[in-house]
Amino acid sequence: MNEDDRAEWIKEALEAIGDVPQDLLEAACKKAKQQCDHPAKIVPFICRETAELTKFRQEALRHAQKQAENANAPKLEKKPFELDDSDRKGLAADIGALARELERKARMSETN
């Protein structure tokens, strides 16, 4: 491979690898040296090796940026959960009916 071919190969390799954090790239290169049996397999190996962690870090960064943007946004007021009297009475009646039904089923299963 002459100098022009090497330059073109490196340009294509960098484009294929993309924006991989340095620590991930170094770890992937170290693994590639140990596992790849041909130079043509190195770039695809690095891409596979770094894809998941790179994606995770990008998502984590986006999440952190959104949190930072939202840090000074007005917060919703937290209100305690309360039922009005009619809802409370209806719920009590439903729970009572459920309890009676469960007691009835329990008695039936004891007799069987």
CB 13 within 8 A of CB 43: yes
Cα-based distances in Å from 33 to 7, 26, 42, 43:
20, 11, 8, 11
Query: What pLDDT sits at residue 39?
Result: 85
pLDDT tens-place string over residues 71-110: 888 888 888 888 888 999 999 999 999 999 999 999 988 8
67-75: long-range contacts at Cβ-Cβ below 8 A with a sequence spacing of 24 or more?
Answer: none
In the chain, the amino acid numbered 11 is K
In percent, the amount of the chain with pLDDT more than 90 equals: 59
CB 45 within 8 A of CB 36: yes
- Rounded-to-10 torsion of CA 12, 15, 20, 24: -10
DSSP state for residue 74 in the 8-state scheme: P
Domain borders along the chain are 3-70, 80-112
pLDDT over threshold 80, residue 1: no
φ and ψ at residue 18, rounded to 5 degrees: 80, -155
d(CA 30, CA 69) in angstroms, rounded, equals 38
**Residue-averaged pLDDT of the chain:** 90
CB 17 within 8 A of CB 47: yes
